[in-house]
Amino acid sequence: MCKRYHFTRREILKILSMAIPATLIGCSKKNLSEDERVCIHIFNKDIAIPKPLLKQYKNIPDRSRKSGFFQIGLAELLLCTTTSSFIDIFQYFWPISKEDLKRFHQSISVKFEKSKIIGRKDIDDFLMYLREHQESIQSEGVNYAIILTFNDYTKYWSSCLIEGWRNSGIKEFVIFKDPTISPYLCIYPSLQKGFKRPPP
């Protein structure tokens, strides 16, 4: 019987840093905790987006420099081309297997990134990039995906990013988040099969 593996964020960071050139992926310098977990949620145009991701905030605070935010080493906002759909790679929310990670880093090529979302300008820059490259994004045979690391600051921008995604020809919107912290996206209808085993 084959063993199943799960990885801490520290281990994921180590694997990703070895597999993907640092020039493509913005990495966090935060000392990651061993007991933290990462789950992945994938959406396409055929499924309803969970309401917490669509919440709009009237007052968005400045990003605190002192507060630590959930991070796995990826830039908080990425646009990438993919040779394989994310739903084919990550069929479960959690845990991430070694094979999943291998297919992930072999299948993506980063086209745009924001290491940290600091404010409105970062979102506007991203949405402008989508508009300016709309023709190439919609080209037949090229798969694009948006990846957002969801944390206590990037949550303020998820609705705006999802709106931009909906207006684009991009097939998948991917969320990386801590499964132990609300919103608990796994309670909503999903493309994925749920958890491979009970969440942490």
The pLDDT tens digits for 23-79 are: 334 333 333 233 347 899 999 999 999 999 999 998 999 898 766 788 878 899 999
What's the confidence (pLDDT) of residue 14?
46
- Tell me how far apart the alpha carbons of residues 134 and 144 are, in angstroms, rounded to a whole number: 11
Residue 98: pLDDT over 60: yes
What's the confidence (pLDDT) of residue 21?
39
Residue 127: pLDDT over 90: yes
- The pLDDT tens digits of the residues spanning 147-190 come to 999 999 999 999 999 999 999 989 999 999 998 889 999 999 99
- Tell me how far apart the alpha carbons of residues 63 and 122 are, in angstroms, rounded to a whole number: 12
What's the confidence (pLDDT) of residue 1?
43
**Domain parsing of the chain, residue ranges:** 9-59+73-187
What's the confidence (pLDDT) of residue 122?
97
Residue 130: pLDDT over 70: yes
What's the confidence (pLDDT) of residue 8?
55
- Tell me how far apart the alpha carbons of residues 11 and 134 are, in angstroms, rounded to a whole number: 36
Model's pTM, two decimal places? 0.80
What's the confidence (pLDDT) of residue 9?
52
Quote the mean pLDDT of the chain: 82
Most confidently modeled of 10-14, 83-87, 128-132? 128-132
Residue 112's closest CA among 178, 70, 165?
165
What's the confidence (pLDDT) of residue 70?
83
Cβ within 8 Å of residue 80, ≥6 positions away: 108, 109, 110, 111, 144, 145, 147
- The pLDDT tens digits of the residues spanning 37-46 come to 789 999 999 9
